[in-house]
């Protein structure tokens, strides 16, 4: 999903022990990245910048240099580094007080402080990138989760998370020179304009302030410039996460805490006090270990992977992938590290076992059970019709199904008619791709209109799917397979296309009749419905000169169209 | 030179000319006129044939004589109808004398409509011959004496009306008159033209003589261009000779009836899959979000479900209902895992959203439908499904495209048999002997794997993605055995096979391109 930018030297220092970077070649790195479902998309040797794409949308902890390094480091170091901030610390942690009413606006908050890590240029770039990627992709453009990072020494505890009057509360936001009220920020500030819709309809707005009433930020919109602008060289940080999903808020904070701890910071937990109930209670100390032990049968893992492994191998594989594991006789009990929350089913653990062992550790084996292959009836009929059309001298065409009402309906003179009904797209990107074709002949006229220089005669056909509007159907339309054919040359004539239809239906074993009808796309008196056993299955005729004019085709065209799905059903 | 072959390639006009030489004694020299008379050819055809034969060195020029030839000009031809000015001046003078009228030079111009220059020239000549007198007052009188010029002029007009004649064939008097009345510089309006005609005579070269001999051998048979039913019916083809063609020329173009090269490629894939025991599935171009995404355990808040990735249907916007029991089971699985042993995504499933209609965005929707229709166990299924993505169109992104996807169900399905199946695809579909399995992420499979293969021509490429369907996908749809979900990315192979560099060209409207693309699979 996300593509991130990291620096090779930064990655190397995170891969090694503190002060001892572990150098890595790009080829080596590409190998290791399979552990995180990542791929190197670009490398600039002079700046050392790597562009890495991460696939797993359930592993936001991997969308940063620290997370990638951690997963690889655990694999090669054999064990995960402990995170002491998860265990109970002596003394009372600083407090973050939540005011009443936020449960109806943006209920959850988590925070911590990080000291002793001096922010480097590359470290700051990572911090900002992680903040953006998590809020944007994992946090649904800040709706579910947003993150603020501040200079700790400017903050007096307890910090309060409260609702403020939009016209009273004011501070100088990042990117501005003068104080603004919250209303003004929403109306003027670029971030206010971009994310303001998250707070639409709220009369009072979230505000984080410290014990001296200095605003930290207006979540999830913008930080205060005074307290919320982190610079290279800062070594005391305060991090908060607000959002609408308690678990996602805590997970996001855990990821930041782990990342900063990996860079050498000491993490100081914060106690959040709510006036309302949350999934974690009214007093929540964050970061918080939200993993739950989960027993899994060894046999479940072995059966899914098709290989006997035993408890020891499974335990080692999971431990070197960051899990906490204890073994029983026939089962393991696993717990995810604090920066992960993607264990929904035992199968998630199965994949991690396979990734940790490497897919190369599993030898491929052919499925052994016998099955009979075959084509659907409609595909068989379609293939037979295509063979016949080729034998009749027609060139096969293959077209887009998504097209424009101009082509499928208006140019065919079908506006307002039953034949002009079609499946149209609501979120149109380009009018050229805004509806599904309801018949085939326009697809062939499309080629005809573009190919006046190709030598004549033109004999074209296409067999393919169309969507026929049908409000009675489950999905409002029927997908049917039709065969369309056109002939174009100076003397193209009804009887010529009629002969082709006649031959085609003869060999398909269908007796048919033609019944004259009026149809706006064809010349009156030279068009008919093709009827088999009393069921209309298609059309044949000479294309109306006005249709040709609209397509800018300067050559007579005759055509037929047979609905193969319907033909297949008539006896 | 090979006489036989040169003889075979002779044009009928050339054969006609050579034939005349054949009728004369060997070494005879024949003039253009003689050849014209003997062949009865138009002069342009004859000169063409002679040019060709000279170029082929079958004829040689023996002599060249230049003869002055007299012919009538347009003016001369008009004199046949109206008589010459000389004649008309004399007649007018005689008439005036016999009636006693006065005739002036001005009268000749006004009444006879003669040009002043013609009048003065005629009067001068007739006066000199003594046939005319100019009397006082500028009046003309006939002397009654004959004019030799008038007689000679009449005779010449009469003679030359039929055909031009050599100047030498006329007597001295007439020759003088011709010279006086011939077109020269400064006097264009004259009745006679003297031209120099070159008469050539030709003999056969040695090769020409050989060709004549060769032709004589064939001469008995008449040459025909085309075998006809009549010739076959009466057997007369036996006495005919068929002109040989120059077969090295390019033939006229015809348009073959043939399959579209991209379709042929997909047909080949289809055949491969059927031969490996896969049964075809079909689905609908329009799907509910339920079958397109919910049934595949993609949470409704999943980023890929945003308005920017899928086309929504305008009318009707929603399906009236989604079939039970799948609807409730899938909803429960999303919310808390249902009976699958999963925690679920832990959010409130929106049933209205599940009913929203979209253009099918992934072939896996077809697989989901199949899972709900009590598929065979063991079973293998595939579909080549048209899918639609809400994406900017460019050389690598098409707005609609084919996805080749499928499922494999069975008690023996596990991660290793998944890899085994992918090995088979690598070998059968891409003719690849080397493969790499790379961990991957798909929302509906766990474990997931990407198949990379070394294609014999394209090198290392990603051929497809696969995985074991999550139990959250299979169990709510009533399937209790493990299921492989696989998909193949064949567009790059197709583009290389068809020699196109832009994915949109797979659906091109350029008939010339479609007609000329061979496709190499």
pLDDT score of B5: 52
Distance from CA of A86 to the nearest CA of B (A): 24
Let me know: does A390 contact A382? Beta carbons within 8 Å.
no
Residue B381 pLDDT more than 50? yes
Looking at the complex, does the CB of residue A452 fall below 8 Å from at least one CB of chain B?
no
Distance from CA of A175 to the nearest CA of B (A): 29
Phi, psi of A268 (to 5 degrees): -105, 110
Task: Name the residue among B311, B344, B506 with its Cβ closest to that of A344.
Answer: B344
A7: tokens are: 């620096």
| Domain ranges for chain B | 3-66+198-216, 74-190, 262-516
Of B505 and A392, the structure prediction assigns the larger pLDDT to: A392
- Rounded to an integer, the average pLDDT of B298-325 is 86
Residue B197 pLDDT more than 90? no
Looking at the complex, does the CB of residue B39 fall below 8 Å from at least one CB of chain A?
no
pLDDT band at B84 (very low <50, low <70, confident <90, very high): confident
- Rounded to an integer, the average pLDDT of A415-430 is 94
- Enclosing H/E stretch for A241: strand A236-243
Domain made up of A294-358: CATH architecture: 2-Layer Sandwich (3.30)
Angle (deg, nearest 10), helices B415-430 and B261-275: 140
| Chain A contact set for B316 (CB, 8 A) | 471, 476
A350: tokens are: 């199965």
pLDDT score of B120: 84
Instruction: State the residue for tokens 């982190």.
Output: A230
pLDDT score of B200: 86
| Average pLDDT score, chain A | 94
* Residue contact B314–A399, C-beta within 8 A: no
Comparing alpha-carbon positions, the chain B residue that sits nearest to A472 is: B320
Q: A78-82, A375-379, A384-388, B329-333: which range is least confident on average?
A: A78-82
The rounded distance, in Å, linking the Cα atoms of A191 and A182 is 12
Let me know: does B499 contact B507? Beta carbons within 8 Å.
no
Q: Which of residues 388-427 of B touch A (CB under 8 A)?
A: 388, 390, 392-393, 398-400, 408, 410-417, 419-424
pLDDT score of A40: 93
Q: For an interface test with B, give the residue of A293, A301, A348, A359 to mutate (most B CBs within 10 A).
A: A359
pLDDT band at B76 (very low <50, low <70, confident <90, very high): confident
pLDDT score of B350: 96
Distance from CA of B302 to the nearest CA of A (A): 9
- Rounded to an integer, the average pLDDT of B81-91 is 86
Looking at the complex, does the CB of residue A300 fall below 8 Å from at least one CB of chain B?
no
| Chain A contact set for B365 (CB, 8 A) | none
The rounded distance, in Å, linking the Cα atoms of A174 and A235 is 20
The rounded distance, in Å, linking the Cα atoms of A504 and A241 is 69
Q: Which of A488, A431, A483 is nearest to A462 (CA)?
A: A483
pLDDT score of A413: 97
Residue B9 pLDDT more than 90? no
CATH 3.30.930.10 residue window(s) in chain A: 377-569
- Beta bridge partners of residue B460, listed in sequence order: B454
Residue A135 pLDDT more than 80? yes
Let me know: does A526 contact A556? Beta carbons within 8 Å.
no
- Rounded to an integer, the average pLDDT of A221-249 is 94
* Residue contact B303–A1, C-beta within 8 A: yes
Comparing alpha-carbon positions, the chain A residue that sits nearest to B356 is: A475
The CA–CA distances, whole Å, from B178 to A356, B67, B162, B167, B171 equal 119, 15, 17, 9, 11
pLDDT digits over A324-368, tens only?
A: 999 988 999 999 999 999 999 999 999 999 999 999 999 999 988
Let me know: does B310 contact B359? Beta carbons within 8 Å.
yes
Topology of domain A377-569 in CATH is BirA Bifunctional Protein; domain 2 (3.30.930)
Looking at the complex, does the CB of residue B228 fall below 8 Å from at least one CB of chain A?
no
Let me know: does B426 contact B420? Beta carbons within 8 Å.
no
Of A81 and B311, the structure prediction assigns the larger pLDDT to: B311
Secondary structure (3-state) at B312: strand
The rounded distance, in Å, linking the Cα atoms of B387 and B151 is 102
The rounded distance, in Å, linking the Cα atoms of B166 and B170 is 8
The rounded distance, in Å, linking the Cα atoms of B385 and B388 is 10
Let me know: does B70 contact B165? Beta carbons within 8 Å.
yes
The rounded distance, in Å, linking the Cα atoms of A58 and A72 is 18
Q: Which of residues 349-368 of A touch B (CB under 8 A)?
A: 350-351, 354-355, 359-360, 362-368
* Residue contact B342–A344, C-beta within 8 A: yes
Q: A480-489, B112-121, B362-371, B413-422: which range is least confident on average?
A: B112-121
Let me know: does A251 contact A291? Beta carbons within 8 Å.
no
The rounded distance, in Å, linking the Cα atoms of A362 and A368 is 17
pLDDT band at B7 (very low <50, low <70, confident <90, very high): low
* Residue contact A372–B472, C-beta within 8 A: no
Secondary structure (3-state) at B38: helix
Secondary structure (3-state) at B455: strand
The rounded distance, in Å, linking the Cα atoms of A513 and A510 is 10
A248: tokens are: 């996602």
* Residue contact A475–B287, C-beta within 8 A: yes
Residue A68 pLDDT more than 50? yes
CATH 3.30.56.10 residue window(s) in chain A: 3-77, 294-358
- Beta bridge partners of residue A163, listed in sequence order: A206
- Rounded to an integer, the average pLDDT of B414-426 is 95
Per 3-state DSSP, what percentage of chain B is helix, strand, and coil (rounded to 5)? 45, 20, 35
B340: tokens are: 């699958």
Handedness of CA B375, B381, B383, B389 (dihedral sign): positive
| Chain A contact set for B516 (CB, 8 A) | none
The CA–CA distances, whole Å, from A474 to A469, A471, B375 equal 11, 8, 21
Instruction: State the residue for tokens 């999905």.
Output: A475
CATH 3.50.40.10 residue window(s) in chain A: 84-286
Kindly state the percentage of chain A with pLDDT values over 70.
100
CB atoms inside a 10 Å sphere around CB B245: 9
Secondary structure (3-state) at A109: strand
Residue B2 pLDDT more than 80? no
- Taking phi over 0 as left and psi of -120 to 50 as alpha, with beta for the rest, A563 belongs to beta
Q: Hey, what CATH class is B3-66+198-216 in?
A: mainly alpha
CATH 3.30.530.20 fits A84-286, yes or no: no
The rounded distance, in Å, linking the Cα atoms of B279 and B383 is 8
Which strands, in side-by-side order, build the sheet including A49-54?
A: A3-7, A49-54, A38-44
Let me know: does A186 contact A194? Beta carbons within 8 Å.
no
The rounded distance, in Å, linking the Cα atoms of B53 and B39 is 15
CB atoms inside a 10 Å sphere around CB B138: 12
Q: A138-152, A310-324, B129-143: which range is least confident on average?
A: B129-143
The rounded distance, in Å, linking the Cα atoms of A539 and A516 is 10
Looking at the complex, does the CB of residue B386 fall below 8 Å from at least one CB of chain A?
yes
Task: Name the residue among B286, B307, B422 with its Cβ closest to that of A423.
Answer: B286
Topology of domain A3-77 in CATH is Phenylalanyl-tRNA Synthetase; Chain B, domain 1 (3.30.56)
Of B36 and B303, the structure prediction assigns the larger pLDDT to: B36
* Residue contact A425–B340, C-beta within 8 A: no
The rounded distance, in Å, linking the Cα atoms of B262 and A485 is 18
DSSP characters for B418-470? Answer: HHHHHHHHHHHHH--S-EEEEE---TTEEEEEEEEEEETTTEEEEEEEEEEEP
- Rounded to an integer, the average pLDDT of B194-201 is 85
Kindly state the percentage of chain A with pLDDT values over 90.
90
CB atoms inside a 10 Å sphere around CB A529: 18
Q: For an interface test with A, give the residue of B373, B447, B451, B514 to mutate (most A CBs within 10 A).
A: B447
Tell me if domain B3-66+198-216 and domain B74-190 are identical in fold: yes
pLDDT score of B1: 46
Q: Name the DSSP class of B159.
A: H
Q: Name the DSSP class of B130.
A: T
Q: A433-437, A490-494, B69-73, B117-121: which range is least confident on average?
A: B117-121
How many Å from the N-terminal Cα to the C-terminal Cα in chain A? 51
- Rounded to an integer, the average pLDDT of A420-449 is 95
Comparing alpha-carbon positions, the chain A residue that sits nearest to B267 is: A383
The rounded distance, in Å, linking the Cα atoms of A245 and A275 is 17
pLDDT band at B308 (very low <50, low <70, confident <90, very high): low
* Residue contact B439–A37, C-beta within 8 A: yes
Looking at the complex, does the CB of residue B359 fall below 8 Å from at least one CB of chain A?
yes
The b-or-e profile of A30-39 (16+ CB within 10 A means b, else e) is: eebbbbbbbb
CATH 1.10.10 fits B74-190, yes or no: yes
* Residue contact B417–A306, C-beta within 8 A: yes
Q: Which of residues 476-505 of A touch B (CB under 8 A)?
A: 476-479
The rounded distance, in Å, linking the Cα atoms of A138 and A254 is 14
Looking at the complex, does the CB of residue B276 fall below 8 Å from at least one CB of chain A?
yes
The rounded distance, in Å, linking the Cα atoms of B35 and B45 is 11
Q: Name the DSSP class of B469.
A: E
Let me know: does B193 contact B183? Beta carbons within 8 Å.
yes
Q: Which of A272, A250, A347 is nearest to A304 (CA)?
A: A347
- Enclosing H/E stretch for B27: none
- Enclosing H/E stretch for A98: strand A95-98
ipTM score: 0.91
The rounded distance, in Å, linking the Cα atoms of A130 and A255 is 10
* Residue contact B446–A348, C-beta within 8 A: yes
pLDDT digits over A547-560, tens only?
A: 999 999 999 999 99
Instruction: State the residue for tokens 């049968």.
Output: A297
Topology of domain B262-516 in CATH is BirA Bifunctional Protein; domain 2 (3.30.930)
- Enclosing H/E stretch for B366: helix B364-371
pLDDT digits over B222-244, tens only?
A: 778 889 999 999 998 888 888 77
pLDDT band at B90 (very low <50, low <70, confident <90, very high): confident
Looking at the complex, does the CB of residue A472 fall below 8 Å from at least one CB of chain B?
no
């Amino acid at each position: 999903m996300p593509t991130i930018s990291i620096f090779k030297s930064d990655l190397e220092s995170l891969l090694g022990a503190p002060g001892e970077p572990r150098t890595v070649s790009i080829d080596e790195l590409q190998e290791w990245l399979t552990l995180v479902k990542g791929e190197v998309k670009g490398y600039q040797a002079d700046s050392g910048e790597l562009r890495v794409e991460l696939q797993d949308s359930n592993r936001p902890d991997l969308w940063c240099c620290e997370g990638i390094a951690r997963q690889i480091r655990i694999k090669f170091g054999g064990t995960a580094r402990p995170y002491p901030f998860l265990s109970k610390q002596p003394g009372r942690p600083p407090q973050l007080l939540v005011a009443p009413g936020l449960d109806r606006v943006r209920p959850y908050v988590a925070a911590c402080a990080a000291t002793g890590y001096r922010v480097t240029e590359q470290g700051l770039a990572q911090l900002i990138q992680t903040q953006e990627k998590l809020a944007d992709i994992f946090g649904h453009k800040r709706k579910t989760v947003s993150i603020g990072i501040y200079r700790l020494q400017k903050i007096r505890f307890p910090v309060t998370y409260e609702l403020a009057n939009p016209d009273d509360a004011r501070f100088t936001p990042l990117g501005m020179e003068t104080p603004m009220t919250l209303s003004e920020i929403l109306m003027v500030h670029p971030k206010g304009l971009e994310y303001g819709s998250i707070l639409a309809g709220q009369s009072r707005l979230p505000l984080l302030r410290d014990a001296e009433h200095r605003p930290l930020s207006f979540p999830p919109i913008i930080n205060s410039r005074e307290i919320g602008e982190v610079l290279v060289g800062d070594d005391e940080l305060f991090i908060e996460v607000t959002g609408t999903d308690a678990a996602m808020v805590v997970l996001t904070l855990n990821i930041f805490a782990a990342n900063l701890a990996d860079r050498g910071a000491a993490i100081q937990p914060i106690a959040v006090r709510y006036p309302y109930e949350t999934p974690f209670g009214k007093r929540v100390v964050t970061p918080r270990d939200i993993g739950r032990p989960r027993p899994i049968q060894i046999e479940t893992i072995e059966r899914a992977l098709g290989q006997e492994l035993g408890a020891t191998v499974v335990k080692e594989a999971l431990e070197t992938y960051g899990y906490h594991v204890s073994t029983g006789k026939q089962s393991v009990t696993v717990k995810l590290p604090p920066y992960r929350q993607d264990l929904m089913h035992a199968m998630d653990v199965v994949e991690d076992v396979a990734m940790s062992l490497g897919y190369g550790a599993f030898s491929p084996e052919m499925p052994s059970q016998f099955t009979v292959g075959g084509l659907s009836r409609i595909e068989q009929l379609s293939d037979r019709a295509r063979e016949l059309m080729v034998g009749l001298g027609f060139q096969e065409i293959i077209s887009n199904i998504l097209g424009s009402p101009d082509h499928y309906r208006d140019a065919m003179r079908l506006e307002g008619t039953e034949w002009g009904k079609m499946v149209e797209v609501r979120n149109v990107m380009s009018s050229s791709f805004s509806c599904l074709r309801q018949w085939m002949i326009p697809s062939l006229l499309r080629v005809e209109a573009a190919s006046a220089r190709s030598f004549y005669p033109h004999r074209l056909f296409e067999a393919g799917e169309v969507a026929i509007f049908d409000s009675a159907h489950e999905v409002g339309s029927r997908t049917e397979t039709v065969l369309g054919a056109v002939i174009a040359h100076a003397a193209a004539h009804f009887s010529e296309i009629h002969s082709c239809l006649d031959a085609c239906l003869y060999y398909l074993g269908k007796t048919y009749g033609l019944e004259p009808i009026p149809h706006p796309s064809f010349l009156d008196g030279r068009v008919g419905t093709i009827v088999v056993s009393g069921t209309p299955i298609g059309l044949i005729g000479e294309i109306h000169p006005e249709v040709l004019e609209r397509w800018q085709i300067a050559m007579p065209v005759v055509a037929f169209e047979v609905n193969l799905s319907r033909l297949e059903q008539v006896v | 030179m090979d006489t036989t072959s040169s003889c075979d390639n002779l044009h009928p006009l050339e054969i006609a000319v050579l034939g005349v030489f054949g009728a004369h004694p060997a070494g005879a020299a024949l003039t253009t006129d003689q050849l014209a008379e003997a062949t009865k050819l138009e002069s342009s055809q004859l000169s063409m044939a002679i040019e060709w034969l000279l170029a082929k060195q079958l004829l040689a020029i023996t002599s060249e004589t230049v003869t002055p030839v007299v012919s009538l000009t347009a003016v001369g031809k008009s004199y046949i109808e109206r008589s010459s000015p000389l004649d008309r001046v004399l007649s007018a003078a005689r008439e005036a004398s016999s009636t006693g009228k006065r005739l002036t030079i001005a009268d000749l111009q006004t009444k006879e409509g003669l040009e002043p220059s013609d009048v003065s020239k005629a009067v001068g000549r007739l006066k000199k011959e003594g046939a005319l007198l100019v009397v006082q007052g500028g009046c003309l009188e006939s002397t009654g004496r004959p004019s030799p010029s008038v007689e000679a002029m009449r005779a010449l007009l009469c003679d030359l009306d039929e055909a031009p004649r050599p100047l030498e064939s006329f007597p001295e008097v007439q020759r003088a008159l011709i010279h006086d009345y011939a077109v020269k510089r400064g006097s264009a309006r004259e009745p006679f033209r003297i031209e120099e005609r070159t008469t050539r005579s030709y003999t056969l070269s040695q090769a020409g003589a050989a060709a004549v001999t060769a032709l004589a051998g064939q001469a008995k048979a008449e040459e025909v261009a085309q075998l006809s039913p009549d010739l076959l019916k009466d057997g007369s083809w036996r006495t005919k000779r068929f002109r040989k063609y120059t077969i090295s020329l390019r033939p006229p173009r015809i348009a073959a009836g043939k399959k579209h090269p991209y379709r042929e490629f997909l047909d080949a894939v289809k055949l491969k899959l059927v031969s490996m025991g896969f049964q075809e599935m079909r689905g609908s171009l329009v799907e509910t979000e339920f079958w397109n995404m919910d049934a595949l355990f993609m949470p409704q808040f999943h980023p890929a479900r945003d308005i920017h990735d899928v086309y929504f249907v305008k009318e009707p916007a929603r399906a009236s209902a989604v079939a039970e029991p799948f609807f409730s089971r899938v909803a429960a699985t999303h919310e808390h895992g249902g009976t699958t042993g999963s925690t679920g995504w832990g959010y409130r499933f929106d049933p209205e959203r599940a009913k929203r209609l979209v253009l099918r965005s992934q072939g896996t929707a077809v697989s989901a439908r199949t899972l709900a229709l009590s598929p065979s166990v063991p079973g293998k299924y595939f579909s080549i499904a048209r899918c639609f993505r809400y994406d900017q169109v460019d050389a690598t992104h098409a707005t609609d495209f084919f996805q080749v996807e499928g499922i494999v169900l069975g008690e023996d399905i596990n991660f290793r048999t998944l890899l085994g199946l992918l090995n088979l695809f690598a070998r059968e579909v891409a003719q690849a002997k080397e493969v790499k399995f790379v961990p991957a992420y798909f929302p509906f499979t766990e474990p997931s794997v990407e198949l990379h293969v070394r294609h014999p021509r394209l090198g290392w490429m990603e051929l497809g993605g696969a995985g074991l369907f999550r139990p959250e996908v299979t169990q709510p749809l009533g399937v209790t055995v493990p299921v492989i979900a696989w998909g193949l990315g064949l567009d790059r192979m197709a583009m290389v096979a068809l020699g196109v560099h832009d994915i949109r060209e797979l659906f091109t409207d350029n008939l010339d391109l479609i007609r000329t693309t061979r496709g190499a699979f």
